[in-house]
């Protein structure tokens, strides 16, 4: 990171910390219940230590297959052609859980309801229960999953200390722009709450791609308000930012059919089913990328969404660039957190990769210092001398901008700007 951008990154982090302090994040976090069913013995905590488990796995791999009663999630992904050998590859990610301790569910739901100020509404409490469950499930490290992809058997794993398996595998090819289904080979790991099927999108090396932030860019999350985060995550029906579904539909219609879409959120992966359903309802198909930590406190969700988000997003966009370095990318974010700084850093790190940065000027969230966050000077500094950075006041402005897109053969132009 260059020194100038390091300064602006620290400024964005300072704004986030100030928001947390003024909106009493620490106080709300300390009031939330733990998700652990009981204090773990010291030996158990030792074996669950991520550092020890990872070191042990390298020295003496221990693998256990998924068994009946476990819960398996297969997460959608994007295939790419390897830069060296040209074969199709994809990062396959899966999660393995054990079912929750029913005795803890009532206590945790009550704790969340109390923090939110929820009335004794049976329907709302049922919603909280359904969304809290993936946080209560115990993770299963060192597990392997066998899946079938286009008739080919693939093995994913072993899972790490967060219960996640993540392997880049070589796979049979398919047409660019196609979606291919992958399924768990056996019924083990199924049942209520399981996600036994996934889709792989085959993204060609050339053409266009979209990277979109999720929270307060396309979905109301209220990342500046701890109670708002809890309510939007566990109680309310997920709501799109007004105008953004129409914008994305317009972008999809104007860009080539084989455009690759990525949705980036700092939420922990426990919210994957919730966010996937939201994306499916309102936005074009694409790969949802979340943090790879499984939080065992409700406070962890608030921390994930408000701390070190810039570093996290830069890391994930760097990974996407390693898959698709020749794509031409459009990135969309908002002004509430550090999207301008993160996108500006990636723009400079990989010259020519990002063609357009769109920042939604957020005025509809409970944000401390929103005027400062929306200052044109901040946008100019975050983007350095970028002419591609736009600080747009409302989705309608973005909608008008996309109407300038004209597709000719494999070329896309913005009026007055060749991308």
**Which CATH number is 352's domain given?**
3.40.50.1000
Looking at the domain assignment, is residue 156 inside a domain? no
pLDDT tens column, 217-270? 999 998 788 888 899 999 999 999 988 898 899 889 888 889 999 999 999 899
- pLDDT over threshold 70, residue 139: yes
The residues pairing with 359 across neighbouring beta strands, listed in sequence order, are 333, 391
Cα–Cα distance list, 250 to 140, 264, 403 (Å): 42, 20, 8
* Count of the separate structural domains present in the chain: 1
Q: Taking phi first (over 0 means left), then psi (-120 to 50 degrees means alpha), and beta for anything else, what does residue 406 get?
A: beta
In angstroms, the CA 386 to CA 348 distance is: 9
Please state, as a whole number, how many other Cβ atoms lie within 10 Å of the Cβ of residue 3: 6
- pLDDT over threshold 70, residue 63: no
Max mean pLDDT among 113-117, 299-303, 350-354 falls in: 350-354
For 325-359, the three-class secondary structure string (H helix, E strand, C coil) is CCCEEEEEEECCCCHHHHHHHHHHHCCCCEEEEEE
Looking at the domain assignment, is residue 113 inside a domain? no
pLDDT at residue number 312: 93
Looking at the domain assignment, is residue 289 inside a domain? yes
Residues of the chain above pLDDT 70, percent: 74
Cα–Cα distance list, 249 to 148, 274, 350, 403 (Å): 32, 21, 28, 12
Looking at the domain assignment, is residue 341 inside a domain? yes
DSSP readout, 105-151? HHHHHHHHHHHHT--S-HHHHHHHHHHHHHHHSEE-TTEEEEEEETT
pLDDT at residue number 35: 64
Looking at the domain assignment, is residue 327 inside a domain? yes
Looking at the domain assignment, is residue 19 inside a domain? yes
Angle between helices 102-116 and 226-234 (to 10 degrees): 130
Range with lowest mean pLDDT among 81-85, 251-255, 269-273, 377-381: 377-381
Range with lowest mean pLDDT among 57-66, 103-112, 228-237, 352-361: 57-66
The domain in which residue 371 lies consists of: 1-23+206-419
Looking at the domain assignment, is residue 355 inside a domain? yes
Looking at the domain assignment, is residue 386 inside a domain? yes
| Residue pair 165/92 in contact by the 8 Å Cβ criterion | yes
pLDDT tens column, 274-316? 999 999 999 999 999 999 876 666 667 787 777 778 899 999 9
Is pTM, for the whole model, over 0.75? Answer: yes
């Amino acid at each position: 990171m260059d020194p100038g951008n390091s300064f602006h990154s620290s400024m964005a982090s300072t704004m986030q910390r100030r928001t947390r302090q003024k909106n009493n994040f620490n106080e709300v976090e300390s009031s939330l219940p733990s998700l652990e069913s009981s204090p773990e013995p010291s030996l158990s905590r030792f074996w669950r230590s991520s550092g020890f488990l990872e070191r042990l796995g390298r020295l003496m791999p221990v693998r256990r297959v998924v068994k009946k009663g476990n819960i398996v999630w297969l997460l959608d992904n994007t295939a790419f052609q390897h830069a060296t050998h040209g074969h199709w590859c994809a990062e396959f990610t899966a999660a393995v859980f054990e079912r929750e301790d029913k005795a803890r569910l009532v206590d945790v739901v009550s704790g969340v309801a109390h923090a939110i100020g929820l009335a004794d509404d049976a329907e709302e409490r049922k919603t909280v229960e359904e969304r809290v469950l993936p946080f209560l499930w115990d993770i299963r490290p060192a597990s392997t999953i066998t899946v079938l992809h286009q008739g080919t058997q693939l093995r994913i794993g072993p899972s790490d200390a967060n219960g996640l398996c993540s392997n880049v595998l070589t796979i049979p090819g398919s047409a660019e722009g196609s979606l291919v289904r992958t399924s768990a080979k056996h019924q083990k790991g199924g049942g209520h709450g399981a996600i036994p099927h996934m889709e792989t999108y085959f993204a060609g090396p050339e053409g266009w791609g979209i990277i979109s932030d999720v929270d307060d860019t396309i979905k109301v999350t209220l990342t500046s308000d701890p109670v708002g985060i809890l309510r939007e995550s566990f109680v309310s029906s997920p709501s799109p930012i007004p105008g953004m579904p129409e914008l994305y539909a317009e972008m999809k219609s104007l860009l080539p059919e084989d455009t690759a879409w990525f949705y980036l959120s700092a939420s922990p992966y426990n919210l994957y089913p919730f966010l996937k359903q939201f994306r499916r309802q309102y936005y074009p198909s694409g790969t949802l990328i979340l943090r790879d930590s499984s939080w065992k406190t409700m406070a962890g969700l608030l921390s994930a969404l408000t701390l070190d988000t810039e570093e996290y997003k830069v890391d994930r966009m760097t990974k996407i660039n390693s898959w698709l370095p020749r794509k031409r990318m459009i990135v969309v974010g908002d002004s509430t957190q550090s999207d301008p700084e993160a996108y500006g850093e990636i723009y400079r790190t990989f010259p020519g990769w990002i063609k357009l940065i769109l920042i939604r000027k957020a005025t509809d969230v409970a944000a401390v210092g929103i005027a400062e966050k929306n200052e044109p000077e901040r946008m100019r500094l975050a983007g350095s001398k970028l002419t591609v950075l736009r600080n747009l006041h409302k989705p309608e402005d973005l909608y008008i901008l996309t109407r300038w897109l004209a597709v000719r053969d494999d070329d896309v132009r913005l009026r007055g700007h060749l991308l």
